[in-house]
């Protein structure tokens, strides 16, 4: 079953303006790779050269930061929401 991915405003140009898209995947990594397959350009924005999430990209499954779970191997239950949240810096 598909999961919903919430897209931040800065990346909505890749989805034709959509704030949410449906993607099939059972882990965060599969969902994000499916997102890139359906909407090319996400991979280079989300993943570092070694395949890990970029430092400034936060991904949440059901409001839980995947960095504190199993990272890209975090399971994503059916009908769950995955949120991509760019880090915000200020001073």
In a domain, 47, yes or no: yes
Do the Cβ atoms of 71 and 51 come closer than 8 Å? no
pLDDT, tens digit (0-9, with 9 covering 90-100), for 14-29: 999 999 999 999 999 9
Number of domains the chain contains: 1
In a domain, 91, yes or no: no
pLDDT, tens digit (0-9, with 9 covering 90-100), for 22-61: 999 999 999 999 999 999 999 999 999 999 999 899 999 9
State the residue range of the domain holding 29: 2-86
In a domain, 63, yes or no: yes
**CA–CA separation, 65 vs 74, rounded Å?**
10
Do the Cβ atoms of 56 and 87 come closer than 8 Å? yes
CATH code, domain carrying 63 = 3.10.20.30
In a domain, 15, yes or no: yes
In a domain, 59, yes or no: yes
In a domain, 66, yes or no: yes
């Amino acid at each position: 079953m598909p999961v919903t991915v919430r897209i931040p405003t800065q990346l909505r140009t890749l989805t034709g303006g959509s704030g949410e898209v449906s993607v099939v995947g059972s882990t965060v990594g599969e969902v994000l790779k499916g997102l890139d397959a359906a909407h090319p350009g996400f991979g280079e924005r989300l993943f570092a050269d070694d395949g890990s999430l970029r430092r400034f990209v936060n991904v949440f499954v059901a409001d839980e930061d995947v960095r504190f779970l199993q990272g890209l191997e975090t399971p994503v239950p059916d009908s769950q929401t995955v949120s991509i949240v760019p880090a915000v810096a200020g001073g």
